[in-house]
């Protein structure tokens, strides 16, 4: 299992977890749920319940580089575009938006 802290505008918003089958779960931090109203995405409003793989996948696909750059990144990492864990690990905080 791999876990990644997710920050929004410099505040710890939650945690993204990849299980051993590469499935994702995102959960907002309890403190963030109680104090913040800014969601990571319109499709992922702030709530206590975790978001499952499909919602996480769509969210990440929109943050990561597109087409040509993505293909070059996949070649450099020796991976395919569906191997998001490796891409997230390498890209870290260098993604689009305030995340």
Q: Is residue 97 part of a domain?
A: no
Measure the CA–CA gap between 6 and 26, rounded to whole angstroms: 9
Residue 6's CB is within 10 A of a number of other CB atoms, namely 20
Residue 94: phi, psi to the nearest 5? -105, 60
pLDDT of residue 81: 58
Q: Is residue 28 part of a domain?
A: yes
pLDDT of residue 97: 53
> Containing H/E element for 39?
none
How many residues are present in the chain? 99
Q: Is residue 43 part of a domain?
A: yes
Residue 26 lies in domain: 2-91
Q: Is residue 60 part of a domain?
A: yes
> Containing H/E element for 16?
strand 11-18
- Total tally of structural domains belonging to the chain: 1
pLDDT of residue 84: 72
Q: Give the pLDDT means over successive 10-residue stretches in the chain (99 positions).
A: 88 92 93 92 95 90 75 75 68 57
Q: Is residue 53 part of a domain?
A: yes
Measure the CA–CA gap between 49 and 70, rounded to whole angstroms: 31
Q: Is residue 44 part of a domain?
A: yes
Q: Is residue 51 part of a domain?
A: yes
């Amino acid at each position: 299992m791999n876990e990644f802290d997710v920050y929004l505008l410099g505040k710890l918003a939650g945690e993204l977890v990849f299980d051993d089958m590469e499935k994702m779960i995102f959960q907002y931090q309890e403190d963030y749920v109680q104090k913040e109203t800014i969601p990571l995405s319109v499709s992922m409003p702030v709530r206590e319940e975790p978001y499952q793989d499909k919602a996480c996948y769509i969210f990440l696909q929109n943050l990561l580089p597109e087409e040509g750059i993505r293909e070059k990144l996949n070649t450099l990492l020796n991976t395919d575009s569906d191997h998001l864990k490796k891409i997230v690990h390498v890209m870290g905080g260098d993604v689009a938006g305030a995340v």
